[in-house]
Structure 1
Amino acid sequence: MLRQLATTALIAFAVLGAACSTHLGKPSTPGPARVQTHYERVRDQVFTPADWPKPLLADVYVPEGAGPFPAVLVIHGGGWESGDRDQVKSIAKRLASRGFVAVNVTYRLVPEAIFPAQLQDVQQAVLWTRANAQRFRIDPKRIGAFGYSAGAHLAALLGGIGEAPPLGRPGLAIQAVVGGGTPTDLTRSAGGGLVPRFLGGSVEQKPAAYRDASPINHVSAGDPPVFLYHGGGDSLVSIDHAKDYEKALQAAGVPTELYVLRGRGHIGAFLTDGSAVDAALDFLDRYLRR
């Protein structure tokens, strides 16, 4: 009975979501016509080379048709220490039915590995996606990343670092980023003890790691467009992360949009993100399918 009541409340909350959301920076010009198509899922693809610390898997969702299609890496959350690609498979399915190849990836978790291992894993996924462009009918010049929470953090790092050394290298540039509940400045209080475990120490002990792992420190002109969505009542990753990141992107001349799910906390914004994902798909249409 309690579970039924919770489910009913969640559904009601989702229905009211459109009235409790604010889309800032929404462009006035429409994007291309929306695509709706069927897709196939290719499971358990190893995207890491033989000498990687461990093999990592991806599920690839490929739309019907000749292509080439834009591709989007889908990166799960879980505080860098839990979660898997099943957590975000609904996003991967929505992307694929919208005409994107969705590459739903995994990465090494804390405490097995600490930063920058997780970044290196998703960077390898970008390289693998480009290397397999012909196989999956992908346009290698149109690749984006979509994540929530820890996954959004990694997506934002992919976009901000790109090919720039020392953390980037050739072949790693992406063309769009979508991040929900994104931790953008890890020197802020975010996630309780999650960040010190992720980085292997406190900010006093590892200031360089905190600097390098914060997407807000990698903003520069020429970064790919960024779509952010965030719960207005998020107490785990405060909305200031999104607002300050948006300001930094705007100051650098990077196209950016912020969609606020008012009243939603960190988990609530993930569980009732339908309207935000709709807006994110429109954003990806404009920047990857134009």
Structure 2
Amino acid sequence: MRFLFWRVLPALVSGLLLLAGATEYAVARPSRRTTDVRYVPATDSAYHSERHQLDVYAPKAAAPALRPVVVFIHGGNWDSGSKEFYSFIGRRLAKQGVVAVILNYRLAPQVRVPQMADDCARAVIWTTEHIREFGGDPQRIFVMGHSAGGGLAALLAADDALFQRRGLARNPVRGAVLDDPAGLDMYDYLRRMQYPNDAQYLVPFGKDPAAWKRMSALYHLTAHTPPVVMLIGGETYPSISSSSARFRQRLTALGHAPRYTVLPGKKHIPMVLQLYWQRNIVYQQLLSLVGQPTQ
């Protein structure tokens, strides 16, 4: 999980969008973007004016029924990243008939991963309460994330307590798409400390092994965990490929193996950059999961 590339990801995304500006404009037209929606009340003691915001991307075309919803959680090593970098994902999803929610959440060192997970849960709860206003179905909410965002998405799907402590008796997440996810088993990773600079992850995860396990989705999987789709880069970091394999094994042992695809030749950052193209395999598998025909 040596994510040096996260420091240059904004420039990579910006360059990609500049090179394909005309295409991006064409994709934008079928969608309606609502920006900087507050999902935590300003009166809340934890409120952060920038990090507690989300954007909604909805298809402009009318539909006979409410549409499936995908909540996307960005990566960034738990200490960087912004919803602003991922408008292309919202546009692509909306063009394919999905209502997309792209969110910010608080980052290290200001908070640790438990607070990040709580932020993401609160964004999903906001979605259950308000997504009808955008044509989305609150009964069909799915989560998706890349890298650190993939680990958080997995937690939302697996750890019902994240929602119970916020007053929801039932986890509203109906499935998860994990795109080269990081942090699925930080308990194992931080005990090993086998890579250079691994001590940096003690900032977002703290020094308590019990907290490492609590924030690792692997240890929350049950027979009731909703369907999971996993896409792993063939040349990603060894820690991601190994923890993803264990995650797959645990789900399989519980009786519902995930859809698991290794993309040959793909490194970690290209696993999210490829989402610029609408007919990408990630979107194909996502649409299958949410019950939306491929367009």
Distance 2:277 2:241 in 1: 18
Moved over 4 A (4+): 163-169, 273-277
Q: 1:273 to 1:100 in 2, by over 3 A?
A: closer
Residue number in structure 2 paired with 1:223: 225
CA drift of 1:109 comes to 0.3
Taking every aligned residue pair, what percent have the same amino acid on both sides?
29
Paired with 2:94 and 2:151, the residues of 1 have a C-alpha distance of 22
The letter for the 1-side match of 2:145 is: G
* AA at the equivalent of 2:101: V
**Structure 1 CA distance for aligned equivalents of residues 30 and 155 of structure 2:** 31
Partners in 1 of 2:270 and 2:99 — Cα distance?
27
Structure 2 residue runs without a partner (length 5+) = 1-11, 17-28
Query: Which of 198, 206, 226 is the aligned partner of 1:192?
Result: 198
**SS of residue in 1 equivalent to 2:244:** helix
CA displacement, residues 124-163 of structure 1 (integer Å, 9 cap, x when unaligned): 0011001103211221110001110011111000000135
C-alpha spacing 1:70/1:194, structure 2 compared with 1 (3 Å):
farther
Distance 1:182 1:72 in 2: 17
Q: Return the structure number with greater helix share.
A: 2
32, 46, 49: which is aligned to 2:38? 46
Give the secondary structure class of the aligned counterpart of 1:134.
helix
Contact in 2 for aligned 1:81/1:109 (Cα 8 Å): yes
SS at match of 1:118: helix
In structure 2, C-alpha distance between the alignment counterparts of 1:246 and 1:277, rounded to whole Å: 25
1:1-290 aligned at under 5 Å gives the runs 38-49=30-41, 50-55=43-48, 56-64=52-60, 65-66=62-63, 67-163=65-161, 169-183=168-182, 184-186=184-186, 187-188=188-189, 192-201=198-207, 206-235=208-237, 237-272=239-274, 278-289=280-291
Are residues 141 and 103 of structure 1, via their aligned partners in 2, closer, same or farther at CA, if it must alter by over 3 Å? same
In the superposition, the TM-score normalised over structure 1's length comes to 0.79
Native 8 Å contact 2:56 2:99 kept in 1: yes
Q: Quickly say closer, same or farther: Cα 1:61–1:274, change in 2 above 3 A.
A: closer
TM-fit CA distance, 1:237: 3.7
SS at match of 2:270: helix
Change (3 A) 1:52 1:155: farther
Contact kept in structure 1, 2:69 and 2:98, CA below 8 Å:
yes
RCO higher in structure (CA 8 A, sep ≥6): 1
Deviations 1:151-188 (A, max 9, x none): 11110000001357876743543011011121211122
Is the 8 Å Cα contact of residues 35 and 54 (structure 2) preserved in structure 1?
A: yes
Give the number of aligned pairs: 253
Pairwise CA RMSD: 2.7
